[in-house]
Amino acid sequence: MRRTLVIALTWFAAIAGTAAAEQTAIRFGRLVNGAGSVVNDAVVVVDGERIVSVGSGDGAVPASAKIIDLRRFTALPGLIDVHTHMTFYWDRTPGTKPWAQLGTLHPAVTVFLAQENARKTLECGVTTVRDLGSYEYLDVAMRDLINRGAMTGPRMFVAGYGLQITNTPSQLRPNPEWLGAADGVPAVMRVARQQIAAGVDWIKMYGSTGSDQDVTGFQTFTLDEMKAAADVAHKAGKRIAIHSYGPSGAADAVRAGADSVEHATDMDDATIAAMAKNGVVYVPTVDHNRYYVDHRAEFGYDDDAVKRLNDYTQRNFETLRRAIRAGVKIAMGSDAVFTGFGENTRELEWFVKAGMTPAEAIGTATTNAAALLDQSKNLGCVAAGCYADIIAVEGDPLKDIKAVTTGVRWVMKGGKVVKSD
Ligand SMILES: [Zn+2]
């Protein structure tokens, strides 16, 4: 009996010892949660990759926890960028251009080099992305490498090949073997199912032209084709994002049951009202064409292209304003490609300029984005049970959104510190 007691005590001590050793208490001057609630003198206790408690003051610090003191900063949930192309990598070789180089490097080389995009994304406070389109399933590979801890980067929810009709000008490499090409309902169903079989989390569909310096928004897929893709996705327990630069593709995307509509400039009032009513998320990506204009030399865009891009940005911004006024749910998506990683969160400045409060803008990259991903219990939150994805910013993010877009000083993803200035 005595021996049993000794074993029991040893076992208890071992369990208690490990539990205490694993816990980290992080202290912040303030915590601004995704939903906008504020905790002063916040203490976030992390065990492994999850948050176990959120409290305030000395009393909330467990006696044996390791302490990280960030009381000069404000904490926010790790941010979510719901529109990236992480595997669009450009190595900056003189004489080359990003779009022309895309797809010419060996796939394994591309995935390896694209770690730079992933790292830059993490460093600006984005701990999760929804990656909307790749090729040869490089995105699936990156997601899995990151999840197994072999690569440093944000959590990725990926889409594989975006579905496109044959011969759109924006096609990545227009050829009959392009695995995302689909014409007609049966082909759309087949290609959507192939993406799911390859292990994607989302279906991406290009419902209009428009990409690169092409800002035309001609509808491509028909309503029936969009419906077919949405049905395949939903029946498999997945969701679908439909790209439309112009209004008619967006209108049909909403009718077809898209979970989110990307870009969608000049939408009519009825479409905006339907989005608000049915909870279809708008991902405007206004900042994306600002990025192209600022980086025009890299892309080789001439004055005419810059004029078109600026005009599109303005109309995109106006559509965003109308969507905000109509109460449409909005999520932050950068549409980051090539050298745009690290600028992922600039979109938030457009949101505030268009009429959101800073708290509402933060919500687009936390609570709204997490709900879109069906991850509200895991992501976009600093609360017991959520992943320990937390960022610390300098300045007051509720007064000036620039504290979020330029003031990220510390980033934790899944309980591991990945940036500390
Ligand atoms: Zn995109």
The alpha carbon of 223 and the centre of ligand 1 are apart by a number of angstroms equal to 21
The alpha carbon of 299 and the centre of ligand 1 are apart by a number of angstroms equal to 16
**What's the token pair of residue 216?**
């035309």
* CA-closest candidate to residue 261, choices 322, 222, 207, 183: 207
The alpha carbon of 378 and the centre of ligand 1 are apart by a number of angstroms equal to 25
pLDDT, position 34: 79
pLDDT, position 104: 92
- Give strand pairing partners of 121: none
The alpha carbon of 132 and the centre of ligand 1 are apart by a number of angstroms equal to 6
pLDDT, position 122: 98
Convert the pLDDT of each residue in 300-321 to its tens digit: 999 999 999 999 999 999 999 9
The alpha carbon of 212 and the centre of ligand 1 are apart by a number of angstroms equal to 10
In the predicted model, what is the mean pLDDT of residues 223-245? 98
The alpha carbon of 282 and the centre of ligand 1 are apart by a number of angstroms equal to 13
pLDDT, position 130: 98
The alpha carbon of 366 and the centre of ligand 1 are apart by a number of angstroms equal to 20
The alpha carbon of 337 and the centre of ligand 1 are apart by a number of angstroms equal to 8
Residue 314 and residue 147: Cα distance in Å, rounded?
Answer: 38
pLDDT, position 35: 77
Residue 420, pLDDT above cutoff 80: yes
The DSSP secondary structure of 198-218, one letter per residue, reads TT-SEEEEE-B--BTTB----
pLDDT, position 8: 44
Q: How confident is the model at residue 170 (pLDDT cuts 50, 70, 90)?
A: low
The alpha carbon of 371 and the centre of ligand 1 are apart by a number of angstroms equal to 20
Query: Which residues sit with Cβ closer than 5 angstroms to ligand 1, an ion?
Result: 335
The alpha carbon of 62 and the centre of ligand 1 are apart by a number of angstroms equal to 45
The alpha carbon of 155 and the centre of ligand 1 are apart by a number of angstroms equal to 18
Mean pLDDT of the chain: 93
The alpha carbon of 159 and the centre of ligand 1 are apart by a number of angstroms equal to 11
User: 3-class SS at 9?
Assistant: helix
Going by the DSSP 8-state scheme, the letter that residue 179 receives in this structure is T
pLDDT, position 21: 55
- Give strand pairing partners of 27: 43, 69
The alpha carbon of 240 and the centre of ligand 1 are apart by a number of angstroms equal to 13
The alpha carbon of 403 and the centre of ligand 1 are apart by a number of angstroms equal to 26
The alpha carbon of 222 and the centre of ligand 1 are apart by a number of angstroms equal to 20
Q: How confident is the model at residue 2 (pLDDT cuts 50, 70, 90)?
A: very low
The alpha carbon of 84 and the centre of ligand 1 are apart by a number of angstroms equal to 6
The alpha carbon of 291 and the centre of ligand 1 are apart by a number of angstroms equal to 13
pLDDT, position 11: 44
The alpha carbon of 71 and the centre of ligand 1 are apart by a number of angstroms equal to 38
The alpha carbon of 99 and the centre of ligand 1 are apart by a number of angstroms equal to 13
Convert the pLDDT of each residue in 49-101 to its tens digit: 999 999 999 999 999 999 999 999 999 999 999 999 999 999 999 999 999 99
Which contacts qualify for 400-403: CB closer than 8 Å, 24 or more apart? Answer: 400/358, 401/348, 401/349, 401/351, 401/352, 401/358, 401/361, 401/362, 402/349, 403/74
Residue 107, pLDDT above cutoff 50: yes
Between 17 and 254, whose confidence is greater? 254
Convert the pLDDT of each residue in 275-286 to its tens digit: 999 999 999 999
Residue 58 and residue 168: Cα distance in Å, rounded?
Answer: 60
